[in-house]
Structure 1
Amino acid sequence: MGSTEEMKFLVDVAHLYYEKQLTQQQIARKLHVSRSLVSKVLVKARKSGVVEVVIHDDKIHAHKELEERMKGIFGLKEIICAEPMEGQTEEECTALQAGKYLARRLPNVKYAAVSGGRMARETAMKFTSPIPLEHVTFVPLCGGVDKELWDIQANTVCEYFASHCGASGLQLHAPIVVDSKEAKDIFMSQRFIEEVLQKAKQSDIAFVGIGTGSRYFEMTNLYLEKEQCMETEMKDKVKGDLIYNFYDLQGRLLDCPWNRQNMTLSLEDLQQIPEVIGAAYETEKAEAIYIAVRRKIISSLIVTAPLARQILKLHSRFL
Protein backbone atom coordinates (compact mmCIF):
# COMPACT_ATOMS: atom_id res chain seq x y z
CA MET A 1 0.00 0.00 0.00
CA GLY A 2 1.55 3.30 -1.11
CA SER A 3 1.99 6.19 1.29
CA THR A 4 -0.88 8.26 -0.19
CA GLU A 5 -3.17 5.26 -0.31
CA GLU A 6 -2.15 4.25 3.22
CA MET A 7 -2.80 7.76 4.55
CA LYS A 8 -6.26 7.76 2.96
CA PHE A 9 -6.99 4.39 4.58
CA LEU A 10 -5.91 5.75 7.99
CA VAL A 11 -8.20 8.75 7.56
CA ASP A 12 -11.14 6.62 6.40
CA VAL A 13 -10.86 4.25 9.39
CA ALA A 14 -10.40 7.11 11.85
CA HIS A 15 -13.43 8.91 10.40
CA LEU A 16 -15.63 5.83 10.79
CA TYR A 17 -14.43 5.18 14.34
CA TYR A 18 -14.27 8.65 15.86
CA GLU A 19 -16.87 10.62 13.89
CA LYS A 20 -19.35 7.99 12.74
CA GLN A 21 -18.81 6.08 16.04
CA LEU A 22 -18.82 2.66 14.42
CA THR A 23 -17.32 -0.18 16.42
CA GLN A 24 -14.13 -1.81 15.21
CA GLN A 25 -16.10 -4.90 14.22
CA GLN A 26 -18.54 -2.81 12.17
CA ILE A 27 -15.64 -1.04 10.43
CA ALA A 28 -13.99 -4.38 9.67
CA ARG A 29 -17.18 -5.67 8.04
CA LYS A 30 -17.72 -2.42 6.11
CA LEU A 31 -14.18 -2.33 4.72
CA HIS A 32 -13.81 -6.14 4.37
CA VAL A 33 -10.76 -6.37 6.61
CA SER A 34 -10.03 -8.02 9.97
CA ARG A 35 -10.83 -6.35 13.28
CA SER A 36 -7.18 -6.70 14.34
CA LEU A 37 -6.14 -4.66 11.29
CA VAL A 38 -8.66 -1.95 12.19
CA SER A 39 -7.21 -1.84 15.70
CA LYS A 40 -3.64 -1.48 14.40
CA VAL A 41 -4.69 1.23 11.95
CA LEU A 42 -6.32 3.27 14.73
CA VAL A 43 -3.14 3.07 16.81
CA LYS A 44 -1.10 4.19 13.78
CA ALA A 45 -3.57 7.03 13.11
CA ARG A 46 -2.86 8.45 16.56
CA LYS A 47 0.91 7.95 16.39
CA SER A 48 1.14 9.55 12.95
CA GLY A 49 -0.90 12.59 13.97
CA VAL A 50 -3.93 11.79 11.80
CA VAL A 51 -5.93 11.69 15.03
CA GLU A 52 -5.33 13.99 17.99
CA VAL A 53 -7.19 13.55 21.28
CA VAL A 54 -7.94 16.92 22.88
CA ILE A 55 -9.81 17.26 26.15
CA HIS A 56 -11.55 20.60 26.70
CA ASP A 57 -12.43 21.31 30.32
CA ASP A 58 -12.52 25.07 30.48
CA LYS A 59 -15.47 25.45 32.82
CA ILE A 60 -15.05 25.90 36.55
CA HIS A 61 -15.87 22.62 38.26
CA ALA A 62 -19.23 23.26 39.91
CA HIS A 63 -18.91 20.41 42.41
CA LYS A 64 -15.20 20.43 43.26
CA GLU A 65 -15.81 21.26 46.94
CA LEU A 66 -18.44 18.54 47.24
CA GLU A 67 -16.14 15.99 45.64
CA GLU A 68 -13.20 16.94 47.85
CA ARG A 69 -15.37 16.59 50.95
CA MET A 70 -16.52 13.12 49.87
CA LYS A 71 -12.93 12.11 49.16
CA GLY A 72 -11.76 13.33 52.54
CA ILE A 73 -14.50 11.67 54.58
CA PHE A 74 -14.53 8.28 52.85
CA GLY A 75 -10.98 8.05 51.54
CA LEU A 76 -12.17 7.58 47.96
CA LYS A 77 -9.63 7.27 45.17
CA GLU A 78 -11.91 9.28 42.91
CA ILE A 79 -15.38 10.78 42.90
CA ILE A 80 -17.12 12.49 40.01
CA CYS A 81 -20.38 14.36 40.53
CA ALA A 82 -22.21 14.13 37.22
CA GLU A 83 -24.08 17.23 36.07
CA PRO A 84 -26.76 16.64 33.38
CA MET A 85 -26.71 18.95 30.37
CA GLU A 86 -29.89 20.39 28.95
CA GLY A 87 -32.08 17.59 27.59
CA GLN A 88 -29.99 14.91 29.28
CA THR A 89 -31.32 12.56 31.95
CA GLU A 90 -29.42 11.87 35.17
CA GLU A 91 -28.99 8.27 34.09
CA GLU A 92 -27.48 9.25 30.73
CA CYS A 93 -25.17 11.78 32.32
CA THR A 94 -23.96 9.36 35.01
CA ALA A 95 -23.37 6.60 32.46
CA LEU A 96 -21.39 8.94 30.18
CA GLN A 97 -19.22 10.20 33.05
CA ALA A 98 -18.63 6.65 34.23
CA GLY A 99 -17.59 5.67 30.71
CA LYS A 100 -15.19 8.60 30.44
CA TYR A 101 -13.57 7.69 33.74
CA LEU A 102 -13.23 4.05 32.67
CA ALA A 103 -11.68 5.14 29.37
CA ARG A 104 -8.97 6.96 31.35
CA ARG A 105 -8.30 3.98 33.60
CA LEU A 106 -8.41 1.09 31.13
CA PRO A 107 -5.24 1.73 29.06
CA ASN A 108 -3.14 0.27 31.90
CA VAL A 109 -5.52 -2.58 32.76
CA LYS A 110 -5.45 -6.24 31.70
CA TYR A 111 -8.66 -7.52 33.29
CA ALA A 112 -11.70 -5.36 34.01
CA ALA A 113 -14.49 -7.02 36.00
CA VAL A 114 -18.06 -5.81 35.53
CA SER A 115 -21.40 -6.41 37.20
CA GLY A 116 -24.82 -6.68 35.66
CA GLY A 117 -27.60 -4.14 36.13
CA ARG A 118 -29.08 -1.20 34.30
CA MET A 119 -26.34 1.30 35.14
CA ALA A 120 -23.63 -1.11 34.01
CA ARG A 121 -25.54 -1.73 30.78
CA GLU A 122 -26.10 1.98 30.08
CA THR A 123 -22.44 2.74 30.70
CA ALA A 124 -21.33 -0.09 28.43
CA MET A 125 -23.69 0.90 25.63
CA LYS A 126 -22.47 4.51 25.68
CA PHE A 127 -18.81 3.61 26.19
CA THR A 128 -16.17 4.86 23.77
CA SER A 129 -12.40 4.97 24.00
CA PRO A 130 -10.05 7.36 22.18
CA ILE A 131 -7.66 4.43 21.70
CA PRO A 132 -8.26 0.73 20.96
CA LEU A 133 -8.22 -1.45 24.06
CA GLU A 134 -7.36 -4.79 22.52
CA HIS A 135 -5.19 -5.66 25.52
CA VAL A 136 -8.20 -5.50 27.89
CA THR A 137 -10.46 -8.44 28.77
CA PHE A 138 -13.82 -7.72 30.38
CA VAL A 139 -14.82 -10.34 32.94
CA PRO A 140 -18.31 -10.93 34.41
CA LEU A 141 -18.56 -10.80 38.19
CA CYS A 142 -21.70 -12.93 38.42
CA GLY A 143 -23.86 -15.48 36.65
CA GLY A 144 -26.71 -14.85 34.25
CA VAL A 145 -30.29 -13.87 34.99
CA ASP A 146 -33.70 -14.68 33.55
CA LYS A 147 -34.28 -14.52 29.78
CA GLU A 148 -36.37 -11.37 30.22
CA LEU A 149 -33.40 -9.63 31.86
CA TRP A 150 -30.68 -10.92 29.52
CA ASP A 151 -29.67 -7.42 28.41
CA ILE A 152 -28.65 -6.37 31.93
CA GLN A 153 -26.73 -9.48 32.91
CA ALA A 154 -22.97 -9.26 33.39
CA ASN A 155 -22.21 -11.48 30.37
CA THR A 156 -24.09 -9.10 28.07
CA VAL A 157 -22.50 -6.02 29.65
CA CYS A 158 -19.06 -7.54 28.95
CA GLU A 159 -20.04 -7.98 25.29
CA TYR A 160 -21.20 -4.37 25.02
CA PHE A 161 -17.98 -3.00 26.53
CA ALA A 162 -15.72 -5.20 24.43
CA SER A 163 -17.51 -4.46 21.14
CA HIS A 164 -17.14 -0.70 21.65
CA CYS A 165 -13.38 -0.63 22.09
CA GLY A 166 -11.81 -3.66 20.42
CA ALA A 167 -11.36 -5.52 23.71
CA SER A 168 -12.20 -9.14 24.55
CA GLY A 169 -14.94 -10.40 26.83
CA LEU A 170 -15.33 -13.59 28.82
CA GLN A 171 -18.60 -15.36 29.59
CA LEU A 172 -19.62 -16.96 32.89
CA HIS A 173 -21.84 -19.88 31.92
CA ALA A 174 -23.77 -20.16 35.15
CA PRO A 175 -27.14 -19.01 36.55
CA ILE A 176 -27.29 -16.17 39.03
CA VAL A 177 -28.56 -18.49 41.77
CA VAL A 178 -29.02 -22.24 42.23
CA ASP A 179 -31.34 -24.39 44.36
CA SER A 180 -29.02 -25.16 47.26
CA LYS A 181 -25.63 -24.52 48.81
CA GLU A 182 -24.60 -28.03 47.74
CA ALA A 183 -25.49 -27.24 44.13
CA LYS A 184 -23.48 -24.02 44.33
CA ASP A 185 -20.42 -25.88 45.59
CA ILE A 186 -20.63 -28.27 42.63
CA PHE A 187 -21.05 -25.43 40.13
CA MET A 188 -18.21 -23.40 41.63
CA SER A 189 -15.85 -26.36 41.37
CA GLN A 190 -16.37 -26.65 37.61
CA ARG A 191 -13.26 -25.58 35.71
CA PHE A 192 -15.07 -23.35 33.19
CA ILE A 193 -16.69 -21.39 36.05
CA GLU A 194 -13.71 -21.41 38.38
CA GLU A 195 -11.38 -20.01 35.69
CA VAL A 196 -13.62 -17.05 34.88
CA LEU A 197 -14.14 -16.11 38.52
CA GLN A 198 -10.41 -16.45 39.15
CA LYS A 199 -9.78 -13.87 36.43
CA ALA A 200 -12.43 -11.65 38.04
CA LYS A 201 -10.46 -11.88 41.30
CA GLN A 202 -7.26 -10.95 39.44
CA SER A 203 -8.86 -7.87 37.85
CA ASP A 204 -7.12 -4.52 38.19
CA ILE A 205 -10.44 -2.70 38.22
CA ALA A 206 -14.13 -3.48 38.74
CA PHE A 207 -17.18 -1.52 37.65
CA VAL A 208 -20.40 -2.16 39.55
CA GLY A 209 -23.92 -0.89 39.85
CA ILE A 210 -25.44 -0.59 43.32
CA GLY A 211 -28.87 -1.86 44.37
CA THR A 212 -31.18 -0.97 47.24
CA GLY A 213 -32.54 -3.42 49.79
CA SER A 214 -35.77 -3.73 47.82
CA ARG A 215 -33.84 -5.57 45.13
CA TYR A 216 -33.61 -8.53 47.50
CA PHE A 217 -37.36 -9.09 47.43
CA GLU A 218 -37.54 -8.75 43.64
CA MET A 219 -34.80 -11.33 43.07
CA THR A 220 -35.81 -13.86 45.71
CA ASN A 221 -39.45 -13.83 44.60
CA LEU A 222 -38.31 -14.34 41.02
CA TYR A 223 -35.86 -17.17 41.64
CA LEU A 224 -36.35 -18.87 45.03
CA GLU A 225 -39.03 -21.03 46.57
CA LYS A 226 -41.30 -19.01 48.86
CA GLU A 227 -39.96 -20.62 52.04
CA GLN A 228 -36.42 -19.57 51.05
CA CYS A 229 -37.27 -15.90 50.57
CA MET A 230 -37.36 -15.10 54.32
CA GLU A 231 -39.34 -11.91 53.62
CA THR A 232 -40.34 -11.29 57.23
CA GLU A 233 -36.84 -11.86 58.61
CA MET A 234 -35.15 -9.76 55.91
CA LYS A 235 -37.61 -6.84 55.83
CA ASP A 236 -35.65 -4.52 58.14
CA LYS A 237 -32.21 -6.08 57.69
CA VAL A 238 -31.33 -5.86 54.02
CA LYS A 239 -29.92 -2.44 53.08
CA GLY A 240 -28.02 -2.87 49.84
CA ASP A 241 -26.82 -5.04 46.99
CA LEU A 242 -23.48 -5.38 45.22
CA ILE A 243 -23.24 -8.00 42.45
CA TYR A 244 -26.27 -9.74 43.97
CA ASN A 245 -24.70 -9.97 47.42
CA PHE A 246 -27.17 -8.49 49.91
CA TYR A 247 -25.78 -6.78 53.00
CA ASP A 248 -26.95 -5.18 56.24
CA LEU A 249 -26.41 -1.74 57.82
CA GLN A 250 -22.85 -2.66 58.80
CA GLY A 251 -22.02 -3.91 55.31
CA ARG A 252 -22.01 -7.53 56.45
CA LEU A 253 -23.26 -10.28 54.17
CA LEU A 254 -26.70 -11.36 55.34
CA ASP A 255 -27.15 -14.99 56.39
CA CYS A 256 -29.93 -16.13 54.06
CA PRO A 257 -30.51 -18.79 51.36
CA TRP A 258 -29.96 -16.31 48.51
CA ASN A 259 -26.48 -15.30 49.67
CA ARG A 260 -25.56 -18.94 50.27
CA GLN A 261 -26.75 -20.02 46.80
CA ASN A 262 -25.80 -17.11 44.50
CA MET A 263 -23.23 -17.58 41.74
CA THR A 264 -21.13 -14.47 42.13
CA LEU A 265 -17.85 -13.15 43.45
CA SER A 266 -18.04 -12.59 47.21
CA LEU A 267 -17.92 -9.15 48.82
CA GLU A 268 -14.57 -10.09 50.37
CA ASP A 269 -13.11 -10.94 46.97
CA LEU A 270 -14.60 -7.81 45.42
CA GLN A 271 -12.98 -5.72 48.14
CA GLN A 272 -9.56 -7.14 47.22
CA ILE A 273 -9.71 -5.71 43.68
CA PRO A 274 -7.45 -2.61 43.61
CA GLU A 275 -10.17 -0.22 42.42
CA VAL A 276 -13.92 -0.85 42.60
CA ILE A 277 -15.91 1.85 40.81
CA GLY A 278 -19.57 2.30 41.73
CA ALA A 279 -22.02 4.35 39.68
CA ALA A 280 -25.58 5.48 40.48
CA TYR A 281 -27.88 8.47 40.17
CA GLU A 282 -30.97 7.60 42.26
CA THR A 283 -31.08 9.31 45.69
CA GLU A 284 -32.91 6.29 47.15
CA LYS A 285 -29.60 4.40 46.80
CA ALA A 286 -27.83 6.75 49.21
CA GLU A 287 -27.92 4.35 52.16
CA ALA A 288 -26.66 1.37 50.16
CA ILE A 289 -23.79 3.45 48.76
CA TYR A 290 -22.97 5.03 52.11
CA ILE A 291 -22.54 1.58 53.65
CA ALA A 292 -20.40 0.36 50.74
CA VAL A 293 -17.99 3.35 50.78
CA ARG A 294 -17.82 3.38 54.58
CA ARG A 295 -16.81 -0.30 54.52
CA LYS A 296 -14.26 0.43 51.74
CA ILE A 297 -15.91 -2.03 49.36
CA ILE A 298 -16.32 0.72 46.77
CA SER A 299 -13.24 2.90 46.30
CA SER A 300 -14.35 5.28 43.49
CA LEU A 301 -17.75 6.82 42.79
CA ILE A 302 -19.60 8.37 39.89
CA VAL A 303 -22.85 9.86 41.20
CA THR A 304 -25.04 12.92 40.76
CA ALA A 305 -24.53 15.90 43.10
CA PRO A 306 -27.94 15.40 44.84
CA LEU A 307 -27.01 11.79 45.56
CA ALA A 308 -23.58 12.81 46.93
CA ARG A 309 -25.26 15.34 49.25
CA GLN A 310 -27.70 12.67 50.45
CA ILE A 311 -24.78 10.37 51.27
CA LEU A 312 -23.18 13.16 53.31
CA LYS A 313 -26.44 13.72 55.18
CA LEU A 314 -26.48 10.06 56.14
CA HIS A 315 -22.88 10.33 57.30
CA SER A 316 -23.79 13.25 59.58
CA ARG A 317 -26.73 11.30 60.97
CA PHE A 318 -24.62 8.25 61.81
CA LEU A 319 -21.79 10.22 63.47
Structure 2
Amino acid sequence: MKPEEEQQLIQIAQMYYMENKTQSEIAKELHIHRSTISRLLKLSRQEGIVEITIHGLHDQNFPLENRLKERYHLKYVGVVTCTEGLTRDQRSIILANKTNAYFQTILEDHMVLGFFLGCDPSSSCQSFDQSGPTYPFDVCTLNGWFFRTYSQ
Protein backbone atom coordinates (compact mmCIF):
# COMPACT_ATOMS: atom_id res chain seq x y z
CA MET A 1 0.00 0.00 0.00
CA LYS A 2 1.30 3.41 -0.92
CA PRO A 3 1.89 5.93 1.92
CA GLU A 4 -0.77 8.32 0.55
CA GLU A 5 -3.36 5.49 0.46
CA GLU A 6 -2.52 4.55 4.04
CA GLN A 7 -2.78 8.21 5.08
CA GLN A 8 -6.23 8.42 3.49
CA LEU A 9 -7.37 5.32 5.41
CA ILE A 10 -6.06 6.84 8.64
CA GLN A 11 -7.80 10.15 7.95
CA ILE A 12 -11.14 8.53 7.17
CA ALA A 13 -10.91 6.18 10.16
CA GLN A 14 -10.10 9.07 12.48
CA MET A 15 -13.02 11.12 11.18
CA TYR A 16 -15.40 8.21 11.55
CA TYR A 17 -14.26 6.61 14.81
CA MET A 18 -12.69 9.51 16.70
CA GLU A 19 -14.71 12.48 15.49
CA ASN A 20 -17.99 10.50 15.22
CA LYS A 21 -18.74 11.83 11.77
CA THR A 22 -21.15 9.87 9.59
CA GLN A 23 -20.02 8.28 6.37
CA SER A 24 -22.13 10.82 4.48
CA GLU A 25 -20.45 13.73 6.27
CA ILE A 26 -16.99 12.34 5.51
CA ALA A 27 -17.92 11.74 1.87
CA LYS A 28 -19.18 15.29 1.50
CA GLU A 29 -16.11 16.79 3.19
CA LEU A 30 -13.61 14.73 1.17
CA HIS A 31 -15.60 14.74 -2.09
CA ILE A 32 -15.72 10.93 -2.19
CA HIS A 33 -18.81 8.77 -2.74
CA ARG A 34 -20.31 7.40 0.49
CA SER A 35 -19.98 3.78 -0.65
CA THR A 36 -16.25 4.40 -1.13
CA ILE A 37 -16.02 5.62 2.47
CA SER A 38 -17.68 2.39 3.63
CA ARG A 39 -15.25 0.31 1.56
CA LEU A 40 -12.24 2.25 2.88
CA LEU A 41 -13.39 1.86 6.50
CA LYS A 42 -13.61 -1.88 5.95
CA LEU A 43 -10.15 -1.85 4.36
CA SER A 44 -8.75 0.08 7.35
CA ARG A 45 -9.93 -2.76 9.61
CA GLN A 46 -8.53 -5.42 7.27
CA GLU A 47 -5.16 -3.67 7.09
CA GLY A 48 -4.95 -3.39 10.88
CA ILE A 49 -5.14 0.40 10.91
CA VAL A 50 -8.32 0.11 12.97
CA GLU A 51 -8.82 -2.58 15.60
CA ILE A 52 -12.20 -2.88 17.29
CA THR A 53 -12.31 -4.34 20.79
CA ILE A 54 -15.53 -4.96 22.68
CA HIS A 55 -14.89 -4.95 26.42
CA GLY A 56 -17.13 -6.65 28.93
CA LEU A 57 -18.04 -9.60 26.74
CA HIS A 58 -15.34 -11.97 28.00
CA ASP A 59 -17.92 -14.30 29.52
CA GLN A 60 -20.33 -14.29 26.59
CA ASN A 61 -20.81 -17.40 24.51
CA PHE A 62 -22.38 -15.89 21.38
CA PRO A 63 -20.62 -18.14 18.83
CA LEU A 64 -21.61 -21.32 20.67
CA GLU A 65 -25.16 -20.08 21.27
CA ASN A 66 -25.55 -19.22 17.57
CA ARG A 67 -24.21 -22.63 16.46
CA LEU A 68 -26.65 -24.40 18.79
CA LYS A 69 -29.56 -22.27 17.54
CA GLU A 70 -28.74 -23.01 13.92
CA ARG A 71 -28.03 -26.72 14.37
CA TYR A 72 -31.12 -27.49 16.45
CA HIS A 73 -33.45 -24.79 15.05
CA LEU A 74 -33.93 -23.16 18.46
CA LYS A 75 -35.39 -19.72 19.12
CA TYR A 76 -33.25 -19.07 22.21
CA VAL A 77 -30.09 -20.57 23.66
CA GLY A 78 -28.41 -19.37 26.83
CA VAL A 79 -24.96 -20.77 27.59
CA VAL A 80 -23.60 -20.12 31.07
CA THR A 81 -19.85 -20.12 31.72
CA CYS A 82 -18.75 -21.11 35.21
CA THR A 83 -15.13 -20.77 36.24
CA GLU A 84 -13.26 -23.42 38.19
CA GLY A 85 -13.55 -23.34 41.94
CA LEU A 86 -17.19 -22.33 42.17
CA THR A 87 -19.35 -24.26 44.57
CA ARG A 88 -22.50 -26.00 43.40
CA ASP A 89 -24.57 -23.26 45.05
CA GLN A 90 -22.60 -20.53 43.26
CA ARG A 91 -23.08 -22.31 39.91
CA SER A 92 -26.80 -22.66 40.65
CA ILE A 93 -27.09 -18.93 41.31
CA ILE A 94 -25.34 -18.06 38.03
CA LEU A 95 -27.63 -20.44 36.14
CA ALA A 96 -30.71 -19.14 37.96
CA ASN A 97 -29.84 -15.54 37.07
CA LYS A 98 -29.44 -16.41 33.37
CA THR A 99 -32.70 -18.37 33.46
CA ASN A 100 -34.50 -15.53 35.22
CA ALA A 101 -33.35 -12.98 32.63
CA TYR A 102 -34.78 -15.14 29.86
CA PHE A 103 -38.01 -15.96 31.68
CA GLN A 104 -38.72 -12.28 32.19
CA THR A 105 -38.87 -11.87 28.41
CA ILE A 106 -41.32 -14.73 27.76
CA LEU A 107 -43.58 -15.26 30.78
CA GLU A 108 -47.32 -15.13 30.18
CA ASP A 109 -50.31 -16.14 32.30
CA HIS A 110 -50.65 -19.89 32.86
CA MET A 111 -47.51 -20.79 30.96
CA VAL A 112 -45.89 -24.19 31.64
CA LEU A 113 -42.10 -24.20 31.96
CA GLY A 114 -40.19 -27.47 31.55
CA PHE A 115 -36.75 -28.32 32.98
CA PHE A 116 -34.64 -31.35 32.20
CA LEU A 117 -31.30 -33.07 32.87
CA GLY A 118 -31.64 -32.97 36.63
CA CYS A 119 -32.12 -29.23 36.92
CA ASP A 120 -33.68 -28.00 40.11
CA PRO A 121 -36.29 -25.43 39.06
CA SER A 122 -36.69 -24.10 42.59
CA SER A 123 -33.42 -22.11 42.41
CA SER A 124 -34.57 -20.41 39.21
CA CYS A 125 -38.01 -19.70 40.61
CA GLN A 126 -36.54 -18.20 43.78
CA SER A 127 -34.49 -15.75 41.74
CA PHE A 128 -37.35 -14.34 39.66
CA ASP A 129 -37.24 -10.58 39.39
CA GLN A 130 -40.17 -9.34 41.43
CA SER A 131 -40.01 -5.74 40.20
CA GLY A 132 -41.94 -6.28 36.97
CA PRO A 133 -45.35 -7.75 36.18
CA THR A 134 -46.05 -11.14 37.71
CA TYR A 135 -47.76 -14.14 36.16
CA PRO A 136 -49.09 -17.42 37.52
CA PHE A 137 -47.22 -20.24 35.81
CA ASP A 138 -46.50 -23.96 36.18
CA VAL A 139 -43.01 -25.41 36.42
CA CYS A 140 -42.13 -29.05 35.91
CA THR A 141 -39.04 -31.11 35.23
CA LEU A 142 -39.31 -33.38 32.26
CA ASN A 143 -38.47 -36.39 34.42
CA GLY A 144 -41.88 -36.23 36.09
CA TRP A 145 -41.54 -33.93 39.12
CA PHE A 146 -44.18 -31.17 39.11
CA PHE A 147 -45.17 -28.26 41.28
CA ARG A 148 -47.23 -25.11 40.91
CA THR A 149 -45.90 -21.70 41.82
CA TYR A 150 -47.19 -18.18 41.58
CA SER A 151 -44.69 -15.38 41.20
CA GLN A 152 -45.64 -12.63 43.65
TM-score, normalization: structure 2?
Answer: 0.47
Higher helix share: 1
Bigger relative contact order, structure 1 or 2 (CA pairs below 8 A, ≥6 apart): 1
TM-score, normalization: structure 1?
Answer: 0.25
Larger Rg: 2
